[in-house]
Structure 1
């Protein structure tokens, strides 16, 4: 009754009073019409904004399959339609971000299970190898063989000689690697002698150490559009978040969808001053005002200047 055409002058006040006293914003009639449907059909902008703010379902459909946005468009309420379109966009983006976060959490769980399964397989292989070596030594009448350990001298030698001293020649070579300029005759405008921690955006980012799940996780798409997966360590099908199949594949198997740009080293900045410029119409000695006058004569209509 508050959103009927007869109560239009007082619709906003009545709706606000009802909501403040606990009215449910998502109730519906026998035809599936919610308060947001009625407010959108009547073009009540303030009522639509209030219902959206209190959590009314912008994606609700009536018995004919119409959303509040479609009713606003059918009755020609453009301002209300923009409000509903914006609210639906924000809700869709929020839902998409939540689903993507669920996919990332599921991926992290899969990575932990994958590493755990790899560790168990490694221990099983080591136990089998140890048993085979023991059986071979026993058949040959040899004492039990032990795996060699790294001696103190080897560890000390590795620690002392693992880091190579940085000479002046190596520093110059590393500095020249970043001297990328489209014009070799001119030095780059950036200061490359600063520390690498300051120039974070120039150096390529380190690759994330993640295992390849493509060999151990299999995706299955059902006829109704739902996606589930099975893993090598668990054959029980597990439902995936309600996302498109290509989004799930790119999220779980990023190595199968490499980027067109592998790293920032392929992006070489160029300055406008380094690019070749076209000379003037009368050579380099002509005044720039001469070129301006020629352009005016070509662009403006005769007799108008």
Structure 2
């Protein structure tokens, strides 16, 4: 809808004509003569604020919003707000300034039309770089889809606006990364909570076993006619020193790591150890991985995936289903059961370490015997069947 066509349709002195022309004095006179200007609509169902935003009349927008008689989030019959209208081609060259002014006065950046178009959709489709940057900065949803299933990034790509597409792709990447970090933190919190419950349950079971052992030992001592029992500081029940021989405490010998397991001698004549540990996989680094002091939850926690693709976990100590953060199944398994699903690169089972000296060497330039067959041709002769090539 162009300004000249609208001016011919509307009578002189009308609010809509003043909004299109951008005459503040004319608009002030019209506001004084009209009651409830924010509720009046033209034939298209647009309010005077919609028309002023559509044609980029910043002075009219200021007068209308400062008068307090219009709604900055008013909707037309198609669900369009003034923020949608300001992103039309007719609003140039004041598109960005009008957008900033509407946002500063309470315009909602994530509102959508009946077709599911948000202001970010319209700015991306029009290739308005500054408007896209401002909407992304204030938190507009970059992942929302319209009625046809398109995101703002996809609309920018369809209309060939590369700069806007790069801005949106960067914003989507940062949002996805932030979301993944939050989901991983939720998974770690869930794991720590399960570890606390597991240790609590394990402690209760240990106390129950000690109580049973105490009762059995007491019954046995009573049958044998032995003196009363006493409890040691470690929680174990032992007989009195009158009927037990004292024994010297045995010092625990700490197991030392074998040097051969991690021998990285630079001597090329000595073969490196072939079977270090976990021969079915390859190590990412050369240093041994530190084992976390955590219990194994694999036997106590089970994962269930329902039809809605939501994963739930059920612990054996309470049998209560808990919702797991929305992450891929392999990430959930590695997060909850690191000992059963290690983060390693899979390799062939027959992979063995060999000495560098045992590898075949390619002949140098000093060789005088040149074979008419290359190595590739020799392999082809060995593999291909006669008569088929």
* TM-score (structure 2 length as normaliser): 0.57
Per-residue Cα deviation, 1:86-143 (whole angstroms, up to 9, x for no partner) = 2111111110110001100110111111111111101101111111121222233333
Counting only pairs closer than 5 Å after superposition, residues 1-305 of structure 1 correspond to structure 2 as: 1-146=85-230, 147-148=237-238, 154-155=248-249, 158=251, 178-181=263-266, 183-184=268-269, 203-260=287-344, 281-282=365-366
Do the aligned partners of residues 116 and 57 (structure 1) sit closer, same or farther apart at CA in structure 2, a change above 3 Å counting? same
User: Which residues of structure 2 form unaligned runs of 5+?
Assistant: 1-84, 231-236, 271-284, 368-389
Distance 2:264 2:198 in 1: 43
What is the number of residues matched between the two proteins?
257
User: Which residues of structure 1 form unaligned runs of 5+?
Assistant: 167-172, 186-200, 284-305
Judge conservation of contact 2:124–2:164 (CA < 8 Å) in 1. Answer: yes
Q: Answer 1 or 2: which has greater helix percent.
A: 1
Q: CA RMSD in A?
A: 3.7
Identify the residue that residue 170 of structure 1 maps to in structure 2: none
Distance 1:248 1:177 in 2: 31
Distance 2:261 2:305 in 1: 51
Do the aligned partners of residues 130 and 104 (structure 1) sit closer, same or farther apart at CA in structure 2, a change above 3 Å counting? same
Do the aligned partners of residues 182 and 67 (structure 1) sit closer, same or farther apart at CA in structure 2, a change above 3 Å counting? farther
The structural deviation recorded for 1:174 is: 5.5
Which is worse superposed, 62-71 or 102-111? Answer: 62-71
Per-residue Cα deviation, 1:255-292 (whole angstroms, up to 9, x for no partner) = 11134469xxx9x9x99xxx998675248xxxxxxxxx
- State the 4+ residue runs in structure 1 displaced beyond 4 angstroms: 148-153, 173-179, 275-280
Distance 1:69 1:261 in 2: 35
Distance 2:109 2:209 in 1: 62
* TM-score (structure 1 length as normaliser): 0.71
**Tell me, what secondary structure is at the counterpart of 1:229?**
strand
Per-residue Cα deviation, 1:165-218 (whole angstroms, up to 9, x for no partner) = x9xxxxxx9699655226249xxxxxxxxxxxxxxx965343111111011111
Q: With CA pairs under 8 Å and 6+ residues apart, which has the higher RCO, 1 or 2?
A: 1
Judge conservation of contact 2:229–2:238 (CA < 8 Å) in 1. Answer: no
